[in-house]
Amino acid sequence: MGRLVTAVPAPGAISLASSPPGDDYATRVAKYIPGEIVAAYVAIQNIWTMNAACVPGTTEWLIYAAFVVLTGLYLYSRRTPGDPYIAQVAIGMVAFVIWSYALTACPKFGVFAPYFSEKAAGVLLILFSLAAGLYQPTKP
For 30-88, how does the pLDDT look when each residue is reduced to its tens digit (9 = 90+)?
Answer: 888 988 998 898 888 877 765 556 666 777 788 888 999 999 999 999 988 888 899 99
Residue 139 pLDDT grade (very low, low, confident, very high; cuts 50, 70, 90): confident
Would you list the DSSP string of 36-86? Answer: HHHHHHHHHHHHHTTTS-S---HHHHHHHHHHHHHHHHHHHHT--TTS--H
